[in-house]
Amino acid sequence: MTAITGVGAYAPRFRISAEAFRDAWGQFQAAGVSEKAVAAADEDSLTMAYEAARRALEAGDIDAANVDWLAFATSRPPLAEEDLTARLGAMLEVDESVTRQLFSGSTRAGTRALWAGMDAISATEAATGLVVAADAPRGDPDDGVDHAAGAGAAAFVLESDGPAEIVDRAEYAIPYPGTRFRNTGEDETRGLGVTQYDRRAFTETIGGAVDGLEAAPEPEAAAIQAPDGKLPYRAAGAAGVGTDEIRAAATVHSLGDLGAASVPVSLAGALADGSESVLVVSHGSGAGADALVVESDGEVPAETALEGDDTLSYAEYLRQRGIVTSGPPSGGGAYVSVPSWRRSIPQRYTLQAGRCPECGALSFPPEGACADCNALGEYEPVQLSGAGAIEAVTTISQGGAPPEFAEQQGRSGDYAAAIVALETDDGGESVSIAAMGTDAAPDAFGVGDRIETTIRRIYTQEGVTRYGFKVRPADA
């Protein structure tokens, strides 16, 4: 048996309403969606995966060092070719020898990862798995895919025994080409838009997967794939559930289409709300579906952050996505080679400082001569907690950002740059470091305010995106 022992979920703070699209286009092509979540300029599926995974580990009281198996699922990885589980594992401090799997190419990827996690846990009863699904679909600005496309992530800690057990599963696949696809080299997902064909593919595969379950489910909630806010309800009959059960788990109405994270986020929300029986059904174009039944005692540890309170206009939406910005300036930026950046990953991902062996002063990063006594030597590793306070802060506006940050500043607008005192794990000491602000407007950062760190995109150079810590208000 495989059980869920910790749940995490995350959605970006930005929202755009259906009304904003109607004002811009004269129509809104995402039925049943009142607003959707929008990834910030420094967010992508990898950073959202980190946010959800960190919450799941905290909820389940699991040290990342004890994770034995890691899976990451997304239909829109930030890189078309790279094993992103290496970066995600490093961000979370998962051991380098842990088995990892990457799932992509379909909105069904999230449940495919859960399916594989079940097999991994059942093969080794002592194992602890971590399954993370994150996505931010994207389509042409004037079509239904883009109008519905939201952003979010969910993560699950899997063990052999726990408060929510996955008690049954089945899958079904039959060819329906053209329902939803993205060709090699293209950035936007699209479909042929043949309504009856799309609906048939959706309902037939969902019905086929549910029919394959050993017993007809009678769930309190049904987490069903949601390309928009209407299609899941059209599949109610095929799934053998009512609209009330679908509505009990639905996140599409307020977050939009979350792609490969659609069903995982709905499952996370249902478990966090105390649902004791959840039918989980994904759909991936092509077409195929997974069906799982989750039974819970109603007390699954969960930490979710799905609320958003920063509303965008349509112009601001296009700006955050980089559609109306000019791109980076030519030359002039600080060059940091990829090998040099890699050497600093322990500091940028996990905040590893160092203690001078001569005078005991803390240094960050732990390299070069000690700033206090000028001694040269190997620093003793010291772990910072990711919590601290602002010592000085300023606002970086247009024209003030270093060239390597100019593209992001053009998309996100003004941002805070601060000197923060980050505390050690035991809270006994702190070290001052420079950091960029995120997740809030510059006026939300003030001297003396408490902050916490998270991981975001920093900039892209030589085609390689650099990720690292930024700071946000502790109550963000």
In a domain, 326, yes or no: no
**Do residues 23 and 165 share a domain?**
yes
Domain assignment of residue 446, yes or no:
yes
Q: Residue 397 pLDDT > 60, yes or no?
A: yes
Q: Are residues 342 and 279 in the same domain?
A: no
Q: Is residue 466 part of a domain?
A: yes
Q: Where is the domain boundary, 265, 288, 320? A: 320
Residue 131 has which token pair?
């399954």
Q: pLDDT digit string (tens) for 333-373?
A: 677 888 988 999 999 999 999 999 999 999 999 988 998 99
Tally of domains in the chain: 2
Confidence grade of residue 394 (pLDDT, cut at 50, 70, 90): very high
- pLDDT, tens digit, 9 for 90 and up, residues 298-338: 899 999 999 998 999 999 999 988 876 655 565 556 778 88
What is the C-alpha to C-alpha distance for residues 305 and 307, in angstroms, rounded to an integer?
6
Distance CA 169, CA 362 (A): 52
Chosen domain end from 261, 285, 320? 320
Whether the per-residue pLDDT at 379 is higher than 60: the answer is yes
Q: Are residues 104 and 163 in the same domain?
A: yes
The SS3 assignment for 334 reads coil
Choice between 255 and 425, residue whose per-residue pLDDT is larger: 255
CATH number at residue 189: 3.40.47.10
pLDDT-based confidence at 56, cuts 50/70/90? very high
CA atoms within 13 A on the CB side of 142: 2
262-272 vs 109-123: helix axis angle to the nearest 10? 60
Please check whether residue 47 lies inside any domain of the structure: yes
DSSP classification of residue 335: P
State the DSSP string of 231-262.
Answer: HHHHTHHHHT--HHHHHHH--HHHH-B-GGGH
Greater model confidence, 324 or 279: 279
* Domain end (from 251, 286, 320): 320
Which residues make beta-bridge pairs with 453? 471
Q: Cα–Cα distance between 235 and 232 in angstroms, integer?
A: 5
Say yes or no: 365 and 280 in one domain.
no
pLDDT tens readout for residues 452-461? 999 999 988 8
Does 48 score more than 90 pLDDT?
yes
Q: What is the pLDDT of residue 337?
A: 86
Task: Say if residue 262 is in the same domain as residue 347.
Answer: no
What is the span of the domain harbouring residue 441? 338-473
The residue ranges of DSSP E strands in 325-463, in sequence order, are 352-355, 362-363, 380-396, 415-424, 430-436, 450-461
Kindly state whether residues 260 and 314 are assigned to the same domain: yes
In a domain, 325, yes or no: no
Rounded Cα–Cα distance for residues 224 and 264 (Å): 9
pLDDT at position 406, please? 79
Percent of the chain with pLDDT over 70: 97
The answer to which of 102-111, 165-174, 427-436 has the lowest mean pLDDT is 427-436
Write down the pLDDT at residue 462: 84
Helix H or strand E encompassing 123: helix 109-123
Q: Evaluate whether residue 182 is within a structural domain.
A: yes
Q: Please say whether the beta carbons of 47 and 455 come within 8 A.
A: yes
Is residue 275 in some structural domain? yes
User: Are 88 and 7 in a shared domain?
Assistant: yes
Retrieve residue 444's tokens.
């939300």
Residues 290 and 410 in one domain: no
Phi first, then psi, for residue 263 (nearest 5°) are -70, -45
Contact 243, 221 (CB under 8 A): no
CA–CA gap between residue 406 and residue 416 (Å, rounded): 14
328 located within any domain: no
Same domain, 207 and 82: yes
Q: pLDDT category, 402, cuts 50, 70, 90? A: confident
Backbone angles phi, psi at 201, to 5 degrees: -60, -45
Q: Is the link from the previous residue into 365 a cis peptide, with omega within 30 of 0?
A: yes
* Same domain, residue pair 139 and 266: yes
Rounded distance between C-alpha atoms, residue 162 and residue 169, angstroms: 18
Query: Residue 369 and residue 463: Cα distance in Å, rounded?
Result: 32
User: Where residue 413 falls among pLDDT bands split at 50, 70, 90?
Assistant: confident
Taking residues 70-98, report their average pLDDT. Answer: 95
Looking at the DSSP bridge assignments, the partners of residue 310 are 14
User: Do 429 and 287 lie in a common domain?
Assistant: no
pLDDT > 90? residue 97 = yes
Length of the chain: 476
Is residue 153 a contact partner of residue 135, using CB atoms and an 8 Å limit?
Answer: yes
* Distance from C-alpha of 226 to C-alpha of 11, rounded to nearest angstrom: 16
Q: Is residue 414 domain-shared with residue 278, that is, in the same domain? A: no
Per-residue confidence (pLDDT) for residue 410, from 0 to 100: 81
Indicate the DSSP class of residue 357: T
Stretch among 15-19, 279-283, 341-345 having the lowest mean pLDDT: 341-345
- The larger pLDDT score, comparing residue 469 to residue 377, is at 469
> For all residues of the chain together, what is the average pLDDT?
93
